Structure 1
Amino acid sequence: MSADQPHIDISPPISRAEAVAVALERHGWCCYPDFIDPATVMALAAECQELDRRGNLRPATTGRAPGRHAGVLRGDRTHWFEAPALSDAQRVLWGRLQALRHVLNRRLMLGLEELEAHYALYPPGAGYARHFDRFRDDDARVVSSVIYLNHDWKSDDGGALRLHLPDGPYDIAPRGGMLVMFLSAEIEHEVLPALRNRLSVAGWFRRRSLT
């Protein structure tokens, strides 16, 4: 990986949110290891697994109603966050993402008005085909985010997020606590299959739709 790749490494130190904004402005995407503390990561992971055990994670769909399709391009199961009815762990994450939204608006003037997010669990062998996050008929999604919840993830476990960048594909292992962000309309990406359950919180920072 070349020195100018947008992993966060900024001196002098600045806040997490400011660092993410700088990298996103420069590159259109970024990775921030340990954006969420280990205790919150563990609590979120346990909650995601318990929701799945109870059957509250549902097979994900693609597209928007009424033309949703299930199980064609993606194999994850999801559960949407419902503010203000958030668990304690969700509230911690939600607060940090909302703080990040305010910083992105101040520095980049993106006009982000709201946040949506869901748990995503990919069972072994499941992935998500190459795609953009912004819908063709709705331009509200501006910035995509993923927080990974996987403990002790190894490269051999697979499950990388593959970003399709102008200079070629770039793979990011889904290690616990890491934040990945990218511009929803500009970065095509996919999720590669893993050998074990792969847990995350996927989110989108949205503006008022212009279409």
Structure 2
Amino acid sequence: MHLPLEHPMLSTIVDDLATRGWSQQTLFIPDALSRELAHECRQRHAQGALNPAGVGRGAEQEVREAIRGDQIQWIDPGESEPCDRYLHAMDSLRQAINQGLFLGLEDFECHFALYPPGAFYRRHLDRFRDDDRRTVSAVLYLNESWQPTDGGQLRMFLEGDVQRDVEPLAGTLVVFLSGDVPHEVLPAGRERLSLTGWFRRRGNDPF
């Protein structure tokens, strides 16, 4: 799913990042692709391919359900046609951000995330203290017919003590600066699916 760099949605995301540090697009991908990705996430989960997510990085990473309760699996190019279509769209977005904001984004990493009923993720930043490569976060939601009473909203903590809640509706994409926007996932009343990823630049770590 290639998007031309002049696509209005890409331009809007770039402008939003420049002016306020975040953007929300309610129909970033077609409904059919959203359903295909949701089916693949559930299928991988049924096969036991998703594992409890950890907090921290490297040798210090550990599973702490009191902080986050989602189950994840990283995706790579060539694994499936729906995933490749999504990755192509995100590469178009990467190029548009680089063209508009000169952030030097080199790649994109992402994983499926499944939150069982009752799961949540406490307030955090996406950028690690000892690794500044994650520059722009991008979350695509895959949940059809989601209702506000189902919970599971993404809550962003913005400047001026402003909170913004985003319903995890299928096809909605949220993009924000990884090191600038604290956020949390509120407890979900039913299974909650997403593709969560990060555009990365070259880090300060020489290794």
Equivalent of residue 152 in structure 1, options 145, 152, 168 = 145
Equivalent of residue 81 in structure 2, options 83, 88, 102 = 88
Aligned residue for 2:167? 173
Equivalent of residue 193 in structure 1, options 170, 187, 196 = 187
Tell me the secondary structure at the aligned position of residue 142 of structure 1. Answer: strand
Tell me the secondary structure at the aligned position of residue 123 of structure 2. Answer: strand
Tell me the secondary structure at the aligned position of residue 17 of structure 2. Answer: helix
Q: Tell me which amino acid in the other structure corresponds to 1:173.
A: E
What TM-score results when the alignment is normalised by the length of structure 2? Answer: 0.93
For residues 61-108 of structure 1, the C-alpha deviation after alignment (integer angstroms, 9 at most, x for no partner) is 11111000103410000010112x231100110000000000000000
> How far apart are residue 169 of structure 1 and its match?
1.4
Contact (CA 8 Å) 1:20, 1:30: kept in 2 or not?
Answer: yes
- Unaligned 5+ residue runs, structure 1? 1-12
Matched, 1:66 2:62: no
Matched, 1:22 2:19: no
For residues 98-143 of structure 1, the C-alpha deviation after alignment (integer angstroms, 9 at most, x for no partner) is 0000000000000000000000000000000000000000000000
Tell me the secondary structure at the aligned position of residue 62 of structure 1. Answer: coil
Q: Tell me which amino acid in the other structure corresponds to 2:186.
A: L
Identity of aligned residues (%): 43
> How far apart are residue 15 of structure 1 and its match?
2.1
Matched, 1:77 2:71: yes
Q: Tell me which amino acid in the other structure corresponds to 1:202.
A: T
For residues 151-200 of structure 1, the C-alpha deviation after alignment (integer angstroms, 9 at most, x for no partner) is 11111110000001113211111000000000000000000011100000
Matched, 1:133 2:129: no
Contact (CA 8 Å) 1:32, 1:180: kept in 2 or not?
Answer: yes
Q: Take 1:14 and 1:203, find their aligned partners in 2: how far apart are those partners?
A: 21
Aligned residue for 2:115? 122
Q: Which runs of 4+ in 1 moved over 2 A?
A: none
> How far apart are residue 16 of structure 1 and its match?
1.6
Greater Cα offset, 38-47 or 16-25: 16-25
Aligned residue for 1:7? none
> How far apart are residue 14 of structure 1 and its match?
5.0
Greater Cα offset, 128-137 or 167-176: 167-176
- Unaligned 5+ residue runs, structure 2? 1-5
Aligned residue for 2:48? 55
Write out aligned runs for 1:100-115 (5 A).
100-115=93-108
What TM-score results when the alignment is normalised by the length of structure 1? Answer: 0.91
Aligned residue for 1:210? 204
Q: Take 2:32 and 2:122, find their aligned partners in 1: how far apart are those partners?
A: 31
Tell me the secondary structure at the aligned position of residue 135 of structure 2. Answer: strand
